């Protein structure tokens, strides 16, 4: 009670400047990280700076952006109009201050919330900004978001803005910029902004054909027909088909790579399927199903909309439903708003008109695409028959209920919005054996975490036909549990977590499961749903404390800190860890490695290398990475 009574006016305070961003960085940039993942915060900071420069180019100012990465420091110089000099300090240090709150300065901007540069400033150990306008410049320097120097001076520099920052290593622990991520970012910018040159550490990125260059440069298989390139006001689409499974469609909004899709990607998928369905129904008297039309599709969509609404500060998923809202100020000072077309109707109308016209002109595509769709249809029907028979058989024998311990909340379109938010937390653990699955089942959070138990090693599907794989009981039941037999959008769990033992058998099972996903459901990986669970390899304890260690370095540090009376346990299987202990390892602090697959990586080449014939290249790879028995005892798997 004493603490409650001490709640006075002295406890109430206002956070100044960008202090709130430093205290709650996740609210602004999503995640911190150390640079090992494309979604880590250091790349979000870089994007925020480059996005401002991109917006200047889009507004018609500046055709070149200079980006330099020097170890842990990044700088960006554009040749746009430059931040207004007298507002420079406010623009980078006062929340809710910016030039993008109406549509006059930036009609179709990525950032509209007045946070971008403020977040970069707040989360950097050093931050320097200088704006050049008509022979004068204004500059400001900050340390951890606090200003240490500012001023104005004459300059001979061309108009524009220069930003240099060093992410704060106290927040982004042990970070490093990985150039492959940044290079990919620059390529995407160039594809989306024809005529713009992005110079990264002396290497220029420029595209003359927009999204068509993106597809041609990144496609990892030979397309069945020349990519269809459709360009209109505020929209650009490219599409073709290949023989791989799933769909591989990149999506962008106002130059922002929306890796998690959103309303525009859903609209394109629907519009392409609907247009082709109607076309072949008229031309060939064939009534194809949407899922057969989309099987193997490769493409990209980019749209420009006013005031986009992204889900989350990292802007990886579009939530907007309308292309624009028109504001009218009436004579009496009141305001009225007229909504523009929905994104769905805008994309559908564009695709319906332009794709249909394209097919009537480029008639050589028609039989090629029809053959592809027909083959997908035949295979789907054969597999569907097999899956139904297996499902009925398993229901009768109750196998399904024994293999899946489901959670109470499912992530699908039938859920209410409130449950959808909870659905973002849903996970399914794929494990092997009664011992491991039993441990996880007891330790899990039953509301949001499900467990699927494999029986032994699943089939190696690399060289097997889709029909043969569909006849496999284990994988058939797994896909049924995930809910993706017909459409990826029916996925019932946001995270698919492969949880196997850290031994040879466990690694083999993990590889077989990943091979299955990579070959037949690559979108599960591309959309970031598939993860590997890290479990502790060691338990280090004395009479007073217990430490769980995930690698040898953590083990040695724990031994040094606990000092005396230390007892070390080496875990070799999930079943050796009690469920009371396991609660911590699959809770909020769960360690997961996301399985990554970029658009330009060839699935066929990856699987051939790891799962194909035992080649000299693979033998050399194994020799180079081979560990001694002593090293393997302490390896961070």
CATH of the domain at 174: 3.30.565.10
Asked if pLDDT for residue 523 goes beyond 80, the answer is yes
pLDDT (0 to 100) of residue 260: 80
What pLDDT band is residue 30 in, cutting at 50, 70 and 90? confident
Based on the domain organization, do 191 and 285 belong to the same domain? no
State in Å, rounded, how far the first CA of the chain is from the last one: 49
CATH of the domain at 417: 3.40.50.670
By CB neighbour count within 10 A (0-12 exposed, 13-18 middle, 19+ buried), where does 251 fall? Answer: buried
**Gap between the Cα atoms of 365 and 579, Å rounded:** 57
Per residue in 437-448, pLDDT tens?
888 888 888 888
pLDDT (0 to 100) of residue 104: 46
Asked if pLDDT for residue 630 goes beyond 50, the answer is no
Which has the higher per-residue pLDDT, 337 or 436? 436
Asked if pLDDT for residue 597 goes beyond 70, the answer is yes
What pLDDT band is residue 14 in, cutting at 50, 70 and 90? low
Based on the domain organization, do 617 and 550 belong to the same domain? no
b/e code 535-558 from CB counts within 10 Å (16+ = b) = bbbbbbbbeeeebbbbbeebbeeb
Based on the domain organization, do 221 and 364 belong to the same domain? yes
pLDDT (0 to 100) of residue 633: 45
In DSSP notation, 351-413 reads: HHHHHHHHHHH-TTHHHHHHHHHHHHHHHHHHHHHHHHHHHHHHHHHTHHHHHEE--S---ST
52 within some domain: yes
339 within some domain: yes
Q: Of 149, 174, 205, which residue constitutes the final position of a domain?
A: 205
Based on the domain organization, do 285 and 418 belong to the same domain? no
Neighbour tally for 378: CB within 10 Å: 11
Based on the domain organization, do 356 and 475 belong to the same domain? no
Which has the higher per-residue pLDDT, 179 or 323? 179
CA-wise closest residue to 503 among 451, 444, 574: 574
Asked if pLDDT for residue 375 goes beyond 50, the answer is yes
Q: Of 178, 205, 232, which residue constitutes the final position of a domain?
A: 205
Asked if pLDDT for residue 186 goes beyond 90, the answer is yes
pLDDT (0 to 100) of residue 269: 94
In DSSP notation, 240-277 reads: EE-SSSS-EEEEEETTEE-TT-BHHHHHHHHHHHHHHH
Contacts of 94 (CB under 8 A, 6+ apart): 17, 118
pLDDT (0 to 100) of residue 416: 47
State which H helix or E strand residue 301 sits in. Answer: strand 297-303
Asked if pLDDT for residue 587 goes beyond 80, the answer is no
What share of the chain has pLDDT > 70, as a percent? 82
Based on the domain organization, do 175 and 44 belong to the same domain? yes
Give me the mean pLDDT over the 514-542 stretch. 87
Most confident residue range from 186-190, 580-584, 617-621: 186-190
What pLDDT band is residue 22 in, cutting at 50, 70 and 90? confident
379 within some domain: no
Per residue in 479-502, pLDDT tens?
888 888 777 778 888 899 998 877
Asked if pLDDT for residue 172 goes beyond 60, the answer is yes
What share of the chain has pLDDT > 90, as a percent? 37
Mean pLDDT of the chain: 82
546 within some domain: yes
Domain that holds residue 555: 539-570
pLDDT (0 to 100) of residue 29: 80
303 within some domain: yes
316 within some domain: yes
**Gap between the Cα atoms of 496 and 486, Å rounded:** 18
Based on the domain organization, do 524 and 411 belong to the same domain? yes
Based on the domain organization, do 559 and 517 belong to the same domain? no
pLDDT (0 to 100) of residue 50: 94
Q: What single-letter DSSP state applies at residue 312?
A: S
What 3 state SS string does 75-96 have? EEEECCCCCCHHHHHHHHHCCC
Give me the mean pLDDT over the 261-288 stretch. 93
Q: Of 315, 349, 369, which residue constitutes the final position of a domain?
A: 369
Q: What single-letter DSSP state applies at residue 501?
A: -
Q: Mean pLDDT lowest for which of 119-128, 266-275, 575-584?
A: 575-584
What pLDDT band is residue 266 in, cutting at 50, 70 and 90? very high
Based on the domain organization, do 353 and 232 belong to the same domain? yes
CA-wise closest residue to 227 among 369, 22, 125, 102: 369
pLDDT (0 to 100) of residue 627: 44
Which tokens go with 427?
């996970």
Task: Tell me if 303 sits within 8 A of 345, measured CB to CB.
Answer: no
Neighbour tally for 132: CB within 10 Å: 24
pLDDT (0 to 100) of residue 628: 39
State which H helix or E strand residue 140 sits in. Answer: strand 136-143
Based on the domain organization, do 143 and 223 belong to the same domain? no
Give me the mean pLDDT over the 520-534 stretch. 87
Most confident residue range from 20-29, 358-367, 622-631: 358-367
Task: Tell me if 387 sits within 8 A of 485, measured CB to CB.
Answer: yes
Based on the domain organization, do 520 and 557 belong to the same domain? no
pTM over cut 0.85: no
Give me the mean pLDDT over the 511-522 stretch. 88
Asked if pLDDT for residue 390 goes beyond 90, the answer is no
323 within some domain: yes
152 within some domain: yes
Based on the domain organization, do 523 and 602 belong to the same domain? yes
Per residue in 394-413, pLDDT tens?
565 555 556 888 888 754 44
**Gap between the Cα atoms of 218 and 257, Å rounded:** 15
pLDDT (0 to 100) of residue 591: 84
pLDDT (0 to 100) of residue 602: 61
CA-wise closest residue to 92 among 66, 70, 114: 114
Give me the mean pLDDT over the 54-58 stretch. 89
The total number of structural domains in the chain stands at 4
């Amino acid at each position: 009670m004493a603490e409650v009574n001490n709640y006075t006016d002295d406890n109430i305070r206002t956070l100044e400047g960008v202090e709130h961003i430093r205290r709650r960085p996740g609210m602004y940039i999503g995640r911190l990280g150390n640079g090992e993942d494309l979604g880590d915060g250091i790349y979000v900071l870089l994007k925020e700076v480059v996005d401002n420069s991109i917006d200047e180019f889009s507004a018609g100012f500046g055709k070149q952006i200079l980006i330099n990465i020097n170890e842990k420091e990044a700088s960006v110089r554009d040749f746009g109009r430059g931040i207004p000099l007298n507002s420079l300090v406010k623009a980078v240090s006062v929340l809710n201050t910016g030039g993008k709150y109406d549509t006059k300065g930036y009609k179709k901007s990525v950032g509209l919330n007045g946070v971008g540069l403020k977040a970069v400033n707040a989360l950097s150990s050093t931050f320097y900004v200088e704006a050049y306008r008509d022979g004068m410049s204004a500059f400001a320097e900050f340390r951890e978001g606090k200003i240490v120097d500012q001023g104005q001076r004459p300059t001979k520099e061309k108009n524009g803005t220069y930003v240099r920052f060093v992410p704060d290593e106290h927040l982004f622990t042990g970070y490093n910029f990985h150039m492959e991520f940044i290079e990919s970012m620059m390529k995407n910018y160039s594809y989306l902004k024809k005529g713009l040159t992005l110079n990264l550490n002396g290497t220029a990125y420029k595209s003359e054909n927009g999204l068509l260059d993106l597809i041609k440069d990144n496609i990892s298989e030979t397309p069945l027909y020349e990519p269809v390139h459709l360009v209109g006001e505020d929209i650009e689409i490219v599409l073709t088909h290949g023989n791989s499974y799933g769909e591989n469609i990149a999506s962008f909004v106002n130059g922002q790579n929306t890796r998690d899709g959103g309303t525009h990607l859903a609209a394109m998928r629907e519009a392409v399927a609907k247009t082709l369905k109607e076309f072949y129904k008229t031309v060939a008297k064939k009534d194809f199903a949407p899922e057969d039309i989309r099987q193997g599709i490769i493409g990209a969509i980019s749209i420009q909309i006013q005031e986009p609404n992204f889900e989350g500060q990292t802007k990886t998923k579009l939530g907007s439903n309308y292309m624009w809202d028109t504001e009218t100020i009436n004579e009496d000072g009141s305001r009225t708003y007229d909504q523009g077309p929905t994104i769905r109707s805008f994309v559908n109308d564009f695709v319906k008109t332009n794709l249909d016209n394209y097919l009537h002109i480029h008639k050589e595509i028609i039989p090629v695409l029809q053959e592809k769709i027909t083959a997908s249809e035949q295979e789907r029907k054969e597999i569907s028959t097999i899956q139904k028979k297996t499902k009925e058989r398993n229901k009768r024998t109750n196998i399904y209920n024994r293999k899946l311990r489901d959670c109470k909340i499912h992530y699908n379109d039938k859920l209410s919005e409130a449950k959808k938010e909870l659905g973002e937390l849903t996970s399914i653990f794929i494990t092997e054996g009664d011992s491991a699955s039993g441990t996880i089942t007891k330790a899990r959070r039953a509301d949001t975490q499900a467990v699927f138990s494999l029986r032994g090693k699943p089939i190696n599907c690399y060289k097997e036909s889709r029909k043969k794989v569909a006849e496999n009981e284990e994988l058939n039941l797994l896909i049924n549990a995930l809910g993706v037999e017909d459409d990826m959008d029916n996925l019932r769990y946001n995270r698919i977590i492969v949880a196997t033992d850290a031994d040879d058998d466990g690694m083999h099972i993990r590889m077989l499961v990943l091979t299955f996903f990579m070959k037949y459901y690559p979108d599960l990986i591309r959309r970031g749903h598939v993860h590997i669970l890290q479990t502790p390899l060691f338990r280090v304890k004395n009479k007073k404390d217990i430490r769980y260690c995930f690698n040898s370095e953590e083990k040695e540090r724990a031994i040094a800190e606990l000092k005396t009376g230390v007892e070390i346990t080496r875990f070799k299987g999930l079943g050796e860890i009690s469920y009371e202990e396991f609660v911590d390892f699959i809770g909020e602090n769960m360690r997961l490695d996301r399985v990554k697959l970029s658009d330009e990586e060839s699935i066929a080449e990856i699987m051939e290398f790891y799962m194909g014939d035992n080649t000299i290249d693979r033998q050399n790879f194994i020799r180079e990475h081979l560990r001694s028995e002593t090293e393997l005892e302490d390896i961070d798997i």
